[in-house]
């Protein structure tokens, strides 16, 4: 808590005491009982120095200038965390274990709340599963990791090597970089912003966000939009669907593609990209009741008949959210009769296509991780925009931290105003001088000069 109240057992009035250094043995003692001059009280529980700033009265109020200026806390002593499993530290097989359904995400957020972690957002895509949350101390990160592992039905000891934990400003920066596409395998890809929005919206609707995560995620989303507008990072949007369609269209002058999962988020995007290529003919599997609703130019067939159309296909793309294989090696070997090269593209995590299908004659199988090399050319073109995007991120994080710090201080502004009337502007400047580093104090003075000049 920012303000700590002690009963003053000394005189009714005494000179003001300004910030400085004093032994921890002074903890909890009224400055009236200390030697005259500078005094401060170190609170080991909060790792903060409590400064006496007022003329003593029956109740002496102490407040921490360090707390006012600090942005290490998001609010009320809470910390911002991110636990991440992503394409940089875990293969697709491991990421597939954390491909959480919407129900599992909601249950995980409920479990976290039961453990005292009231604010959480879980982002789950083909390349990452990330848990963002606000907690009271670093111990809660262990609890959050265990909840995430349990939700994915994994033993924490088996997956801890793949976990990356970001803390406070690093957690903020990681979220901002992810949201604008800098941290994606395909730099600047345009799917991640939508996925972040949906994850945040789901958590917000479930009541799992408060002022802190609301402000943080809204700031990250706004920053990503600014970067898309002000830089060339996403001028020509590229996604997994774009790369898959390009790879398919390059097979020959006339390509037959069987698209499985065309009604899903990734699948529908892949379908649109395929139709942009004039040399591609698309057959898409759909649920029986949706046969008549497929867009023009696509032959729609029931999902149950997918193997019937596999032999005529030069390329099969699968992008579903199914927990089971949509294509198995055994079933494919029974239907692929025409000898010709075939490309199987698996855009799902967990995988849709059994990996052993790659051993079938003429078959080449690509999954999400295999697209890394294809993304390199796209990434090299966008490298020049990353530095500009990072500068924008730094600016927006600075504004965000000030907003969080100010919100944290707002409940005490009346008490601060009252105390300030006691010590005056000079007293506050002495506090700041003794508490801040030279660069910080100089920055404060410069800001005050500008304010005084208005």
What are the catalytic residues? 126
Q: Give me the numbers of helices (H) and strands (E) for the chain, helices first please.
A: 14, 14
Distance, CA of 210 to CA of 109 (rounded, Å): 13
Look at the block and give the residue holding tokens 């892949």. Answer: 270
CB under 8 Å to 392, separation ≥6 — which residues?
223, 226, 227, 230, 231
Q: Cβ(378)–Cβ(385) under 8 Å? A: no
CA distances from 102 to 85, 95, 116 (A): 18, 16, 21
Look at the block and give the residue holding tokens 């009982």. Answer: 33
Distance, CA of 120 to CA of 207 (rounded, Å): 9
Distance, CA of 10 to CA of 29 (rounded, Å): 10
Distance, CA of 243 to CA of 368 (rounded, Å): 10
Distance, CA of 180 to CA of 393 (rounded, Å): 9
Tally the C-alpha atoms within 13 A of residue 414's C-alpha that lie toward its C-beta: 1
Q: Cβ(393)–Cβ(175) under 8 Å? A: no
Q: Cβ(353)–Cβ(364) under 8 Å? A: no
In sequence order, the β-bridge partners of residue 327 are 353
CB under 8 Å to 128, separation ≥6 — which residues?
84, 85, 86, 87, 95, 178
Look at the block and give the residue holding tokens 């009224």. Answer: 30
Distance, CA of 196 to CA of 91 (rounded, Å): 21
């Amino acid at each position: 808590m920012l303000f700590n109240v002690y009963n003053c057992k000394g005189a009714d009035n005494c000179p003001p005491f300004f910030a400085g250094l004093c032994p921890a043995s002074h903890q909890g003692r009224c400055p009236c009982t200390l030697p005259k001059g500078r005094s401060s009280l170190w609170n080991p529980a909060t790792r903060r120095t409590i400064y006496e700033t007022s003329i003593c009265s029956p109740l002496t109020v102490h407040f921490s200038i360090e707390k006012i200026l600090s942005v290490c806390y998001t609010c009320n002593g809470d910390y911002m965390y991110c636990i991440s499993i992503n394409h940089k530290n875990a293969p697709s097989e491991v990421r597939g274990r954390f491909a959480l359904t919407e129900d599992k995400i909601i249950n995980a957020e409920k479990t976290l709340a039961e453990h005292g972690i009231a604010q959480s957002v879980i982002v789950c895509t083909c390349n990452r599963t990330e848990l963002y949350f606000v907690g009271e101390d670093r111990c809660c990160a262990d609890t959050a990791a265990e909840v995430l592992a349990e939700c994915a039905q994994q033993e924490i000891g088996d997956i801890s090597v793949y976990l990356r934990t970001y803390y406070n400003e690093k957690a903020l920066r990681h979220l901002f970089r992810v949201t604008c596409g800098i941290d994606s395998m395909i730099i600047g890809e345009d799917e991640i912003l939508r996925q972040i929005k949906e994850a945040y919206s789901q958590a917000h609707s479930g009541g799992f966000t408060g002022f802190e995560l609301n402000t943080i995620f809204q700031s990250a989303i706004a920053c990503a939009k600014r970067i898309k507008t002000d830089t060339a990072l996403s001028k020509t949007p590229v996604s997994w669907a774009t790369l898959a369609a390009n790879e398919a269209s390059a097979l020959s002058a006339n390509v037959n593609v069987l698209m499985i999962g065309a009604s899903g988020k990734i699948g529908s995007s892949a379908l649109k990209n395929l139709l942009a290529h004039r040399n591609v003919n698309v057959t898409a599997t759909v649920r029986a009741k949706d046969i008549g609703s497929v867009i023009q130019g696509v032959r729609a067939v029931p999902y149950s008949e997918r193997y019937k159309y596999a032999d005529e296909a030069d390329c099969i793309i699968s992008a579903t959210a199914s927990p089971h294989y949509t294509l198995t090696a055994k079933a494919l070997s029974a239907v692929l009769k025409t000898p010709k090269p075939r490309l199987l593209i698996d855009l799902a995590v967990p995988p849709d296509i059994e990996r052993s299908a790659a051993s079938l004659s003429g078959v080449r199988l690509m999954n999400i991780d295999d697209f890394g090399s294809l993304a390199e050319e796209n990434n090299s073109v966008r490298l020049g925009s990353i530095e500009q995007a990072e500068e924008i991120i730094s600016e927006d994080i600075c504004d965000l931290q000030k907003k969080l710090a100010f919100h944290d201080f707002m409940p005490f502004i009346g008490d601060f105003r009252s105390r300030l009337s006691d010590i005056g502007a000079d007293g506050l400047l002495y506090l700041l001088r003794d508490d801040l580093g030279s660069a910080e104090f100089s920055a404060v003075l410069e800001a005050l000069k500008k304010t005084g000049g208005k």
